[in-house]
Chains A and B, each alone.
Chain A
Amino acid sequence: MFARSCRSEAIMLPAFYISAVIAIIGTVLTITRLHAVHALLYLVISLLAVATVFYTIGAPFVAALEVIVYAGAIMVLFIFVMMLLNIGSRAVHMERAWLDAKAWIGPALLAAILTAELIYILIAGRSGAVGINGVGPQQVGISLYGPYVLGVEMVSMLLLAGIVGAYHLGRNAPGEVESVDDIESGLQRAVAGGDLVRAGSDRPAHTP
């Protein structure tokens, strides 16, 4: 494991730099987009690029977890909440307008670069690390359940608290009226110009 060949390093080093640059570009575009869904697309690209960086510096286990948990689960949560917030009849037209080329051509380009880079790595040889010795999943597991077993328990309790807290915040209070559909709601939402998603802002009040 400690003897990496020069050829593997020559493959991995440009891959590392390319994916790091893609991560930076994706993050900058994430925080400068005006529309939340476009920003989310660039955020997914940034997370995938960071996962590729993890792979190139010799941490394949963490790279897989990054893709699964961050780019999978957390992004699905974000998308669910965004789609929950713009219920409206105009949303269909708005989503059709989102599908034009300039919305998705940037993330698609960055994702294509990442895909080409991954294919290049997989074709060029087995996984190596950039000038440093990689840490395999076995070492991580041994260390995780050896000296860090208390931390694992604490993370599990934190996740349980997160589940209970999210349920408690997300449910309707007993006396609370669900006031999404009344007339004032549409008016206020139209007045509040800085709404997250513009799709539901000017819907007629009688739509379900």
Chain B
Amino acid sequence: MFELGLIGLLTRRNVIFTLMSIEVMLNAAGLAFVAAGARWGQADGQVMFLFILGMAAAEVSVGLALVVRLHRLYKSVDTDSASILRG
């Protein structure tokens, strides 16, 4: 339904906004699952939403830890500042 408005939003240069956009996209996918499950009267859609929920929780915890790490290194949360990889 409104995933089209949600997926085209990864245009911000900020890591926090990127994480929020990922949350929104996962939420839209979960909404599609639940709506489809409710349309055909199956419980599978809600089960899939529970899996999406758990995955989103794990992803957000790791992502925010990365944000803290990045902020300690570069004193900024700009995405482009972390474009240099060095081990």
Chain A positions near chain B (C-beta within 8 angstroms): 2, 20, 23-24, 27-28, 30-31, 36, 39-40, 43, 46-47, 50, 53-54, 57-59, 61-62, 65-66, 69-70, 73-74, 77-78, 81-82, 84-85, 129, 132-135, 139-140, 142-144, 148, 151, 155-156, 158-159, 161-163, 165-167, 169-170, 178-180, 185, 188-189, 192, 194-196
Contacts and interface: CB of A to CB of B under 8 A. Distances in A.
B65 A27 contact: no
A202 B20 CA distance: 26
Contacts of A180: 72
A39 to B, nearest CB: 7
Interface of B: 1-2, 5-6, 9, 11-14, 16-17, 19-21, 23-24, 27, 31, 34-35, 37-39, 41-47, 49-51, 53-62, 64-69, 71-72, 74-78, 81
Contact of B64 (A43, A81, A148, A159): A81
Q: Is the interface of A mostly helix, strand, loop or mixed?
A: helix
Contacts of A28: 5
